[in-house]
Structure 1
Amino acid sequence: MLAPVTDDDGAPFWEYAARGELRVQSCARPSCGEPRFPPRPCCPHCGSFDSEWRLMSGRGRIWSYAIPHPPLLPDYAAHAPYNVVVVELSDAPRIRLVGNVVTSPDAPLDSLDPARLRIGAPVRAVFDGNGLPRWLPERP
């Protein structure tokens, strides 16, 4: 599988994920406080360089999805067909994260029948053994 490529701004995201925490960079200016993703040095809302990493509930909903046939990346060929989802976070609706919906944290990418995916379906974040965020379907 592919490993995340980190930079100085995004490294804390992956450090928290390795501990099983979904955190999002947010503006630390009290008059702003807006969450932002992807991480960056300056708040796009107020221009502040002050930031913090806020713990999210890990809950969200599927905003969009695709089923690659065949996969675009050779490292994923053995898992095709698999889903790629965009999840809108419940705690921060402007934040959308890309990942895969699976049946358990360590399940293969093709573990969920693609027919079960629906726009708006509730999901929650889980982490595989490498700290990669994935999504589990939630019961309504």
Structure 2
Amino acid sequence: MTILRTVLPQPTPETQHYWDGCAQSELRLQRCRACAQAYFPPRPVCPSCAARDIEIFAASGRATLHSYIINQRPRPDMGKDPHSIAVVLLEEGPKMMTNIIDCPQTPEALILDMPVEVVFIRQNDAITLPFFRPAQG
């Protein structure tokens, strides 16, 4: 599936590790060494305890569908068909906003708590975006 966004994120020094990971088909999260809390989105301070002792690690890429809406309005970068705007609960604990792809965009197919997995789609030389699809087994 080709999904090309017209508006792309701009990496910053605090998020560069995340975008580098996506380019290598690796979902990178941060974890606080003081309280062991994994979190997303990337930031230099732990949102739980405000510690700055942070490590970057490769997440499993597995998640469950936590919530979603089906957007019926056409978008040039998502095609003419409806598309989901979803929140997934990553296996490591954080929640992440995304789109669910490779699946009918209907309430019958988008079942809450269903297992999903990350898939990476290159947008240009600088940005590869993570999307999620129903888990393959």
Aligned residue pairs: how many? Answer: 126
TM-fit CA distance, 1:117: 0.7
Q: Quick one: structure 1 residues 38 and 70, their matched pair in 2 at CA, closer, same or farther if it must change by over 3 Å?
A: same
Q: TM-score, normalised by structure 2?
A: 0.81
Identity of aligned residues (%): 31
Aligned to 2:110: 117
Contact 1:70–1:77 (8 Å) recurs in 2: no
CA distance in 2, matches of 1:100, 1:45: 26
Aligned to 1:106: none
Given candidates 58, 61, 73, the residue that maps to 1:58 is 61
CA distance in 2, matches of 1:53, 1:77: 31
Aligned to 2:95: 96
Uncovered stretches (5+) of structure 2, i.e. residues with no partner: none
Higher percent of residues as helix: 1
Q: Deviating runs (4+, > 4 A) in structure 1?
A: none
CA distance in 2, matches of 1:79, 1:27: 41
SS in 1 for 2:79: helix
CA distance in 1, matches of 2:29, 2:78: 31
Contact 2:66–2:89 (8 Å) recurs in 1: yes
Question: What residue identity is the alignment partner of 2:122?
Answer: G
